[in-house]
Structure 1
Amino acid sequence: MTARFVRANGLRFAYREQGPADGPLALCLHGFPDTPATFRHLLPALADAGFHAVAPWSRGYPPTDVPADKRIDPDTLTADVNALHRAFGGSRDAVLVGHDWGAIAAMRAAAAAPERWRRLVTLAVPPERVLAGVAGDGRQLARSRYALAALVPGADHRLAAGDAAGYVRLWKRWSPGYEPTEDDLAPLKAAVRSPGAGRAMVAYYRGFAPAVLRRRALSPRVTLPPQPHLVLHGRQDGCIGVEWAERAEGRLPHPASRTVIIDDAGHFLHLEQPERVARLTLGHLLARGTAAAVD
């Protein structure tokens, strides 16, 4: 799939797409350190189900523009997602799929503009309101030390050194049962080699930290998406412990929302268990009204 380009929220976004152009928009948002390549199993499944499946490179990940700003904050990501909805002519039937940082962006965009998005699926990051208690969890703070390291000057150079060895270590730590392939890593390494990209990738954490201090992130007051919401999490996730995803069950507003833990999977569950993730995702996104996802 060749990258195409669209302008949204003041940037030129690169994206890949599959499926009928007149189908309902299914916007798939990747995380850190990642690219749309990891949706290579899910995009065809969405397309076959009739969705216009679109996976953009997120802000700061080439070939999407690298913004001049040194900080990328949650509010900007929210605006990006809803601007992409407009750019792709999305209707009220549009849906969201987000992994990692893409999950945060998807949840915030769905909460900010519920009239735009019918349903959403998020992978590997529970709702921020659920994560509000992580400060008291020593095990989770140890898992999250990478986020603090990203705040240290020069973090982007250290992660990219040695053919992106730092990024590869994160992949292996977060998905301990999965060996990333060249299909996973080659697009990431290509993005990192672009001028300013490494800085932009860690800027997500530098922009999130002030939001935490302003109590605009990781707070019980962060608005939860009101739509039917499927939360998927790998049982062996080495980035965010499965116990935090389990706490989301029963705390999501819509009665059709649910949390599903995927066995034999870590942080990159859509690569580790692609068939089950696709089945659950489609079961949820194709349901109507208050129907829950079916496994």
Structure 2
Amino acid sequence: MQHGSVTVNGIQIAYVEEGEGPLALLLHGFPESGEATYRHLIPALAAAGYRAVAPNIRGFAPSALPADGSMLLVDLVSDANAIHQALGGGSDAVLIGHDWGAATAWAAATTAPERWSKVVISDVPPLWFFANYASTYEGIERLNHFWFFQMDMAETIVAANDMAWLRQVMQDKWTAPSYDATEDFEAVRKALNEPARLRAALDLYRMNFGPKVMGTPEWEAAHMALWGALPTQPTLYLHGTADQSVSMDEASLTAIRESLADGSETDFIQGAGHIVPAEKPDAYNARVLQFLKKAV
């Protein structure tokens, strides 16, 4: 893989890339990195004739911290669409997202549909499902890091003992029991290796789900404007059967499929936890490549 960077919205964004052809932009989630999350998919896309580009989002090293400190979803969406522009992406580009990258992809695909021909998303479903789930007893319990990160002491606790809390939660909760998350955690240590970077990562939750704004009409309107609508492009949604953050049953997956545009697909990845692209790369890559090969 080659390393590069591009400046968008006044921020230098670092990325890894491989291959030539239509742009495939791969967006990661918290607390990961683009290279680690998609280390198996990047070469597979390159072999299939794509220019696979996996950036680290603003604030996650080696990308720069935003000068204004903003980690709002609207900024992540603007960055994604601006990266497409800066890298010379065409209308045949594809957008792939996981976790926070999933929320970003839902929104980027709807706010700039002319940029993306197909969309592949895993681990965070459409807003209508996610919002309903997050307000249930199960959702509140499984997504308790959303609330923990609001506390001032979270920075101290998460940073302590070489980020031992993150190491444990990635291994015990965010990935399936049989998966070794060591390589993923090492990427986290590199991406969030300074207090300002860890603070920026936690600000994803503090700024977008802050206790004084979450649930207000203004908050709801802002999120609905970003990812309340669904992509008009064919979309593949994948979800791990062992996901302990966002649990999903067959009926819910069917409902998601029925809500998406013509040519869209959904599927479970058996045995995967919340980091599907890294945990079950053979099954994940096969479904992604199969979907991308289908004629629109």
With the length of structure 1 as denominator, give the TM-score of the two structures.
0.91
Post-superposition shift, 1:133?
1.3
What's the counterpart of residue 258 of structure 1? Answer: 265
Deviations 1:129-171 (A, max 9, x none): 2223125421111001110111111323311211211212221
**Is 2:271 the counterpart of 1:272?**
no
CA RMSD in angstroms comes to: 1.9
Partner of 1:13: 13
Matched to 1:72, the amino acid is: M
Q: CA separation in 2, counterparts of 1:211 and 1:120?
A: 28
Quote the Cα distance in structure 1 between the aligned partners of 2:189 and 2:198: 10
SS at match of 1:141: helix
CA offset digits 1:104-150 (Å, max 9, x no partner): 11110000000000001001110112223125421111001110111
SS class of match (2:259): coil
- What CA distance in whole angstroms lies between the structure 2 residues aligned with 1:212 and 1:100? 21
Deviation at 1:245, TM superposition (A): 4.5
AA aligned to 2:190 is A
Name the structure 2 match of 1:233.
239
Whole-angstrom distance in 2 between the partners of 1:184 and 1:39? 10
Determine the structure 2 residue equivalent to 1:292. Answer: none
| Stretch moving more, 221-230 or 210-219 | 210-219
The one-letter code of the counterpart of 2:244 is G
Structure 2: runs of 5+ lacking an equivalent:
none
The residue that corresponds to 2:4 in the other structure is: 4
Matched with 1:30 is 28
Distance 1:138 1:51, change over 3 A: same
SS of alignment partner, residue 120 of structure 1: strand
Q: Distance in 1 between matches of 2:180 and 2:134?
A: 30
What number of residue pairs does the alignment pair up? 286
Match of 1:287 among 287, 290, 294: 294
CA contact (8 A) 1:177 1:265 kept: no
Judged with a 3 Å threshold, the aligned counterparts in structure 2 of structure 1 residues 72 and 260 are, in CA distance, closer, same or farther, namely same
1:205 paired to 2:213: no
1:66 deviation in Å? 1.2
The farther-off stretch of 236-245 and 88-97 is 236-245
| CA drift at 1:183 | 2.6
- The residue matched to 1:132 in structure 2 has which SS? helix
**In 1, are the aligned partners of 2:111 and 2:226 still within 8 Å (CA)?**
no
| Consecutive unaligned residues in structure 1, runs of 5 or more | 290-295
TM-score normalized by the length of structure 2:
0.91
